[in-house]
Amino acid sequence: MTLTFIQHELKSFWRSKNTSKSVTIRIVMGFLILILLLYVVVLGFYLDTILEQSFPGENLIIAFSGMLLYYFVFDLLMRFQMQELPTLTVQPYLHLPVSRNTVVTYLSLVSLKSVFNLWPFIISLPFILKIIKPEQGLNTALLFIAAITGLTIFNNYLSLYIKRRSNLNGWVSICFSIFLVLLTLSDFSWHIISFRNLSLLFFGNIKAHPLLVLIPLALSCIIYYINFLYLKHNLYLEELGSRKISHKSSTDIPLLDRFGRVGELVANEVKLILRNKRSRSSVLMTTMILFYGLIFYTNKYYGDGWKVFCGMFMTGIFIINYGQFMFGWQAGHFDGILISKIKFQDFLKAKYILFTIVSSAAFLLTLPYAYFGWHIILVHFVMYLWNIGVNTTIVLFFANRNYKRIDLSRGASFNWEGVGATQLLLGFPLFLLPFVIYGPVAFFGHPDIALGLLAAIGLLFVLTRQYWIKQLEEDFYEKKYTIAEGFRAK
Amino acid sequence: MIEIKDLKKVYAGVTVVDIPYLKISKGESIGLIGNNGAGKTTLFRIMLDLIRPEHGEVTSNGENVALHENWKNYTASFLDEGFLIDYLTPEEYFYFIGGLHQQTRAHVDDFLTSLTDFFNGEVLKRGKYIRDLSKGNQCKVGVAACLLQKPELLMLDEPFANIDPSTQIRLKNMIKQMSRSEGLTTLVSSHDLNHVTEVCERILLMEKGKIIKDIATSSSTLKELEEYFSVAINPFQV
């Protein structure tokens, strides 16, 4: 039976729309994932060098052992944020003559296939094989691996268990978050406990007392069993699902009323963003970008060119990140839009207004970077103009060529749905164009003229919006059947 | 009101819609029936300019629907949940649709009050987004949004499939009443022969993309249709 389940699981992976149809995209995606993996592998291989430089003069193995527990606390935090509950996959089996134990076992095992369970091994295995094995022998190396396996599994099921509990009761998640924060504070600020010492106490003594390895293994078994029991007693769809039931109320966004019909469309899109998981999390991610400046502006090494780069990203990340999937966000009701009395011009104007509002807000939020000099604000303003002028139009031009629907109810992290050739192609003009203009002029010693040029072009596009809307509209009428068809395909 | 000429749609070598000529006059109420895959929904989609036909055209009031947008002013349709904006509350959705037709909120509220029976207390003010409603209630929202637009042409794809018997009866009465008193042209598809023969004056029977029967409803229509479908399901009967 479990074998059949695994077969179904494999089929669902290969046949899902996420696993993109076209070969080129698959290759490019695979390539990107490979690069990401490669980074982690490289991190793993150079862990000893990194540790050597971070803790000069200290024994490498002690430094490593001291870090391990920190890693797992961090891991738990990340899992809690990003790991998805593998739930609905069991729905088609619940009414069939399959025993509950089998279903629950399957559900539990399937959750192990998360990428989070790979990281610890990719990072730590090279170090264990390179340093620990030669110095302390194969047995100790195996003990380390066993302990890390135990902790990984423990984290896996603990985060799932808590996530499931918090689905039924929101307080659980709040309490757990507070607990994690207190735990971190009590180490870093209050110095009541020290993960480093705890970690050392365990991993430092593992060679002398091999039986210690049973602790993480036992812990992982216990949490697996708790999780198992919990699932078994709560194997009901409405309790497993990640849907919370709460009262939803109608809201108005009065500010947008002054834009009339178009304002209503903007208000709808704002609701779309706020009321759906995928869009919400993708927008939340974009707010992180606002801190980019802290990386680049604090370091004298990065010159003016980086300011252009940073300025574009910080004031325009919403346009880039949210815009790249347009109009896929509205795939669920695209037919409804097409048959209703919405003029496509208005539809486009609404997008422009939304982009302008969010970009303006982002520009205002970056004003504190004036601390690093007013010139930065000037660059930000120029790139803000560029964003609301040029980049909005580029993004909408590609939106007319995006035929992939997006399921709004799923999270954004590690979600490749809706990603296709359009997004990759979109990257080129978006990232290269400003530098094609800025680069040569600045290279010959006139960075101010280069900035002026960018600003002028941005402004020109803002002033000629009406013209671009017309062009995009004509373009859309040619593509709309293909777009609608793509969005209908679930 | 509607004319279809030479219409053909092919998917992967299979003709799914093939209609040489069809005319629907103002005020007619048409029932569209046929087994799964007969091409009903595809026909609806072509008529709403959601799918581009291989050739041929659909004109509404003399204008090709693919080239003009005027038809959107007087055509209301509900084919599936894809027509609803599912992250809005029903109220928000109705205000939005009403707004598109220059109706004030007060006007929309008035209209919704008149549908109190139809909603049966399960749609409005329940504190739910449309996506959290049951299929039947989503269908009610879709149909109500159509009526809100005061259309001259109403197109519904299997509106009876998911709703309860009381609502089915109410919906049938509403359609009948509107087509009689307001000259509404209706186009309704259904798998339930009873419903269609009861509501519609003219029945179009589709098979493999073709309209193979075009009959004015009479007392013998239901029997005739039942005979057709029972033959269709029994290949051994000659």
Q: Do B77 and A488 touch (CB under 8 A)?
A: no
Residues of chain A falling short of pLDDT 50? 242-243
Among candidates A155, A25, A16, A129, which has minimal Cα distance to A419? Answer: A25
Among candidates A475, A96, A335, A308, which has minimal Cα distance to B85? Answer: A335
SS3 call for A435: helix
Please spell the DSSP secondary structure of A223-260, one letter per residue.
Answer: HHHHHHHHHHHT--HHHHSSPPP--------GGGGGGH
Compute the distance between CA of residue A74 and CA of residue A159 in angstroms, rounded to an integer.
Answer: 12
In the prediction, which pLDDT does A457 show? Answer: 92
> Are residues B139 and B79 in contact, defined by beta-carbon separation less than 8 angstroms?
no
% of chain A with per-residue pLDDT over 70:
90
Q: Do A276 and B87 touch (CB under 8 A)?
A: yes
Q: Do A339 and B88 touch (CB under 8 A)?
A: no
Compute the distance between CA of residue A153 and CA of residue A219 in angstroms, rounded to an integer.
Answer: 9
- Angle A47-54/A119-127 helices, nearest 10 degrees? 80
Measured between CB atoms, which of A271, A335, A342 is closest to B88?
A271
Q: Which two tokens stand for residue A103?
A: 């279903």
Compute the distance between CA of residue B124 and CA of residue B106 in angstroms, rounded to an integer.
Answer: 15
> Are residues B185 and B152 in contact, defined by beta-carbon separation less than 8 angstroms?
yes
Is A106 or B159 the better-scoring residue by pLDDT? Answer: B159
User: Distance between alpha carbon A389 and the CA centroid of its chain, in Å?
Assistant: 27
- Angle B105-114/B135-148 helices, nearest 10 degrees? 120
* CA-based torsion, A475, A479, A484, A489: positive or negative: negative
Q: Do A268 and B48 touch (CB under 8 A)?
A: no
The β-bridge partners of B151 are: none
% of chain B with per-residue pLDDT over 70:
97
Among candidates A88, A160, A87, which has minimal Cα distance to A117? Answer: A160
* Contacts within 8 Å (CB) and 24+ apart, A89-94: A89/A9, A89/A12, A90/A235, A90/A240, A91/A237, A93/A5, A94/A235, A94/A237
> Are residues A457 and A311 in contact, defined by beta-carbon separation less than 8 angstroms?
no
pTM of the complete model beyond 0.80: no
> Are residues A274 and A253 in contact, defined by beta-carbon separation less than 8 angstroms?
no
SS3 call for B58: strand
Among candidates A87, A89, A85, which has minimal Cα distance to A8? Answer: A89
Interface of B with A in 193-222 (CB under 8 A): none
> Are residues B41 and B34 in contact, defined by beta-carbon separation less than 8 angstroms?
no
Which positions ≥6 away from B201 have C-beta within 8 Å?
B28, B29, B30, B216, B217
Which positions ≥6 away from B98 have C-beta within 8 Å?
B104, B105, B107, B108, B111, B148
Q: Which residues of A touch B143 (CB under 8 A)?
A: none
Peptide bond just before A327 cis, omega within 30 deg: yes
Lay out the sheet containing B202-207: strands in order across: B75-78, B153-157, B185-189, B29-33, B202-207, B210-216
pLDDT above 90 (res B22): yes
The β-bridge partners of A195 are: none
User: Distance between alpha carbon A393 and the CA centroid of its chain, in Å?
Assistant: 25
Each domain of chain A, given as residue ranges in start order, spans 21-240, 255-488
Question: How does pLDDT run across A421-467, given as a tens digit for each residue?
Answer: 777 788 888 888 888 888 888 888 888 888 898 999 999 999 999 99
SS3 call for B5: strand
Compute the distance between CA of residue B116 and CA of residue B174 in angstroms, rounded to an integer.
Answer: 13
Question: How does pLDDT run across B160-218, given as a tens digit for each residue?
Answer: 988 999 999 999 999 888 888 888 999 999 988 888 898 899 999 999 899 998 988 88
Three-class SS of A181-196 = HHHHHHHHCCCCCCHH
Q: Do A339 and B86 touch (CB under 8 A)?
A: no
In the prediction, which pLDDT does B51 show? Answer: 87
Interface of A with B in 329-368 (CB under 8 A): 332-336, 338-343
* CA-based torsion, A314, A318, A319, A325: positive or negative: positive
Measured between CB atoms, which of B72, B86, B101 is closest to A333?
B86
Q: Do A341 and B89 touch (CB under 8 A)?
A: no
Q: Which two tokens stand for residue A365?
A: 């939020």
In the prediction, which pLDDT does B238 show? Answer: 45
Q: Which residues of A touch B157 (CB under 8 A)?
A: none
Q: Which residues of B touch A268 (CB under 8 A)?
A: 85, 88, 96
SS3 call for B206: strand
% of chain B with per-residue pLDDT over 90:
44
Distance from CA of A331 to the nearest CA of B (A): 8
* CA-based torsion, A166, A169, A172, A178: positive or negative: positive
Residue A150: count of CB within 10 angstroms of its CB: 19
Compute the distance between CA of residue A275 and CA of residue A253 in angstroms, rounded to an integer.
Answer: 14
Q: Do B83 and A339 touch (CB under 8 A)?
A: yes
Compare all CA atoms of chain A with the CA of B46 and give the residue at the minimum distance: A481
Largest CA distance in chain A: 77
Question: How does pLDDT run across A402-414, given as a tens digit for each residue?
Answer: 888 888 776 665 5
In the prediction, which pLDDT does A58 show? Answer: 80
- Angle A447-463/A421-443 helices, nearest 10 degrees? 140
Is any Cβ of chain B less than 8 angstroms from the Cβ of A490?
Answer: no
- Angle A138-168/A119-127 helices, nearest 10 degrees? 160
* Planar angle of CA A45, A49, A55, nearest 5 degrees: 135
Q: Which two tokens stand for residue A417?
A: 């749905």
Question: How does pLDDT run across A213-223, given as a tens digit for each residue?
Answer: 899 999 999 99
Is any Cβ of chain B less than 8 angstroms from the Cβ of A244?
Answer: no
Q: Which residues of A touch B84 (CB under 8 A)?
A: 333, 336
DSSP state for residue A56 in the 8-state scheme: T
Most A CBs within 10 Å, among B52, B64, B79, B85, to test the A interface: B85
The β-bridge partners of B8 are: B18, B55
The β-bridge partners of B215 are: B203
Q: Which domains does chain B have, with CATH numbers?
A: 2-233 (3.40.50.300)
The β-bridge partners of A410 are: none
H or E segment and range at residue A103: helix A100-110
SS3 call for B8: strand
DSSP state for residue A302 in the 8-state scheme: S
**Residue where the block lists tokens 């089996």:** A93
Is any Cβ of chain A less than 8 angstroms from the Cβ of B101?
Answer: yes
